[in-house]
C-alpha cells in the first residue's frame, strides 16, 4: 500500500488481505510477530528494531524479515502496524504511521503522557485510521468469563491482585504503569463506568520507582475497587474477585479458573459452580480483534479513548500524594494498673 493513499483506499485494499508489520522486537514484539505470521489472510511484512540481537531473535521466532529503520518497513508497503516499542517512542512511531494512513495497534500504555496519548487519538480520528490499544488482559478467557458472569449485575466491589518477582528487564516505569494499568482498564471495563476517586499508597522497597502499590478507587457508578500489585512476591499471582448483590465471582487469571457463588440464603448457605472458560491465547485473540476492526472499519475492542482514560488514572495514582495519618505519633497500648 502506498503511504500517500487515502484511508478509504486502504480499507478497500485490506479486504484482499492484510500486509502487517511490527515495530519493536523485544519479548512482546517478537510474540506479536509469531502470532501474526500464523494468521490466515495476513502477510507479515517484517519487524523493526534497531538492535541486531533483537532482530535476529524475531527472525528466528517468526521467520520474517527484520529492518533496522521504520522507513524500511514503510517502503515495503503495509496496511497495519502493531507498535511494541518502548513507551516513550509510541507517540513518534504512531504519528509516523498515521501520517501514512496505516492502521495501528499500540501496546499499553498508549503513550508516556495523557497529552501524547490524546495527540495520537486525535490524529487517528482525523485521518480515519483504526487505532486500538493493546490491553491484552481483556482477551484472557478467564477475564471474559468474569465479564459475562457479572453482566447485568449490580456490582458492589472489585478486588484485583497482580504480583510477582522483580522483572528481569530493567524499566523506566514502576508497577503502576507496568502492571496496575492493566487492572485500571479492567475495572473501567467491568463497571462500564469512569473512575472518579483515586486513593494510592505507594512504596519503593528495592527499586528506584514504586515497586509496591495499593490502589483504591471509586467509580462514577459507586463501585469500590482496589488493586494490590508489587514486584516483591517470589511467584506470579493474578486474581480477580467481584461482589455483586446477587453473586460473588472469583477468577484466577493464570490457571484460568473462574468460580461463581450464588443463591445466598439467610442461614449463610449458598451454591457454587465453576464457569466454563475458553482456551484462546489472549494475544492471538487481541490481534484478531484488531485486524477485524481494520477490515470492517468498526470501533476496535479497546479504543484510543479508553487507553488514554486508563493512562490518566494511572498517572493520577503517581501524582496524587497519600493522605497523612490523623496523628504522626503512634501510642502504644496502655498498661492497665492492677
Q: pLDDT, tens digit, for every residue of 179-229?
A: 999 999 999 999 999 999 999 999 999 888 999 999 999 999 999 999 999
Domain 138-279+312-319 falls under CATH 3.60.15.10 = no
- Flag the least confident range among 6-15, 193-202, 247-256, 310-319: 6-15
Q: Which of 59, 108, 50, 105 is nearest to 82 (CA)?
A: 105
Res 3 pLDDT > 50: no
Q: 72 near 45, Cβ under 8 Å?
A: no
The pLDDT confidence band at residue 303, using thresholds 50, 70 and 90, is very high
Is the C-alpha dihedral spanning 137, 138, 139, 144 positive or negative? positive
Res 4 pLDDT > 50: no
Residue bearing the bigger pLDDT, 255 or 8: 255
3-state secondary structure 182-217: HHHHHHHHHHCCCEEEEEEEEECCCCCCCCEEEEEE
* pLDDT value for 336: 47
The pLDDT confidence band at residue 5, using thresholds 50, 70 and 90, is very low
In the chain, domain spans: 14-135+287-303, 138-279+312-319
Residues 159 and 243: their CA atoms lie apart, in Å, by: 9
Residues 135 and 311: their CA atoms lie apart, in Å, by: 11
Percent over 90 (pLDDT), the chain: 84
The pLDDT confidence band at residue 170, using thresholds 50, 70 and 90, is low
* pLDDT value for 208: 86
Res 328 pLDDT > 80: no
Q: 48 near 67, Cβ under 8 Å?
A: yes
Q: pLDDT, tens digit, for every residue of 52-96?
A: 999 999 899 899 999 999 999 999 999 999 999 999 999 999 999
* pLDDT value for 167: 85
Summary mean pLDDT of the chain: 91
Res 260 pLDDT > 70: yes
Residue bearing the bigger pLDDT, 324 or 187: 187
The size of the chain, in residues, is 338
Nearest 5 degrees, angle CA 145-CA 197-CA 324?
125
Q: How far is CA 279 from the centre of its chain?
A: 19
* pLDDT value for 338: 42
CATH code, residues 14-135+287-303: 3.40.50.720
Mean pLDDT over 233-244 rounds to: 97
Q: 218 near 187, Cβ under 8 Å?
A: no
Percent over 70 (pLDDT), the chain: 89
Residue in the block written with cell 473512575: 195
* pLDDT value for 1: 40
* pLDDT value for 337: 46
* pLDDT value for 322: 56
Amino acid at each position: 500500500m502506498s503511504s500517500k493513499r487515502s484511508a478509504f483506499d486502504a480499507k478497500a485494499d485490506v479486504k484482499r488481505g492484510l500486509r502487517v508489520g511490527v515495530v519493536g522486537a523485544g519479548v512482546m514484539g517478537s510474540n506479536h510477530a509469531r502470532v501474526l505470521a500464523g494468521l490466515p489472510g495476513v502477510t507479515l511484512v517484517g519487524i523493526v528494531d534497531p538492535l541486531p540481537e533483537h532482530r535476529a531473535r524475531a527472525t528466528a521466532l517468526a521467520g520474517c524479515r527484520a529492518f533496522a529503520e521504520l522507513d524500511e518497513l514503510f517502503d515495503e508497503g503495509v496496511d497495519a502496524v502493531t507498535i511494541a516499542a518502548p513507551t516513550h517512542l509510541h507517540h513518534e512511531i504512531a504519528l509516523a504511521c498515521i501520517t501514512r494512513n496505516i492502521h495501528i495497534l499500540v501496546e499499553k500504555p498508549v503513550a508516556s503522557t495523557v497529552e501524547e496519548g490524546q495527540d495520537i487519538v486525535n490524529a487517528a480520528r482525523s485521518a480515519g485510521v483504526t487505532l486500538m490499544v493493546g490491553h491484552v488482559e481483556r482477551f484472557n478467557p478467564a477475564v471474559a468469563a468474569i465479564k459475562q458472569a457479572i453482566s447485568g449485575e449490580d456490582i458492589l466491589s472489585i478486588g484485583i491482585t497482580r504480583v510477582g518477582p522483580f522483572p528481569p528487564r530493567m524499566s523506566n516505569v514502576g508497577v503502576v504503569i507496568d502492571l496496575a494499568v492493566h487492572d485500571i482498564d479492567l475495572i473501567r471495563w467491568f463497571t462500564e463506568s469512569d473512575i472518579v476517586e483515586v486513593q494510592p499508597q505507594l512504596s519503593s522497597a528495592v527499586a528506584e520507582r514504586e515497586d509496591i502499590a495499593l490502589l483504591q478507587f471509586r467509580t462514577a457508578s459507586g463501585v469500590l475497587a482496589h488493586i494490590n500489585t508489587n514486584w516483591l512476591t517470589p511467584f506470579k499471582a493474578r486474581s480477580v474477585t467481584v461482589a455483586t448483590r446477587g453473586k460473588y465471582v472469583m477468577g484466577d487469571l493464570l490457571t484460568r479458573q473462574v468460580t461463581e457463588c450464588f443463591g445466598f440464603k439467610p442461614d449463610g448457605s449458598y451454591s457454587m459452580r465453576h464457569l466454563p472458560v475458553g482456551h484462546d491465547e489472549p494475544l492471538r485473540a487481541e490481534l484478531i480483534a484488531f485486524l477485524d476492526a481494520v477490515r470492517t472499519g468498526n470501533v476496535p475492542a479497546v479504543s484510543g479513548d479508553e487507553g488514554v482514560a486508563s493512562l490518566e488514572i494511572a498517572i493520577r495514582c503517581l501524582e496524587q500524594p497519600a493522605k497523612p495519618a490523623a496523628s504522626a505519633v503512634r501510642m502504644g497500648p496502655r498498661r492497665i494498673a492492677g
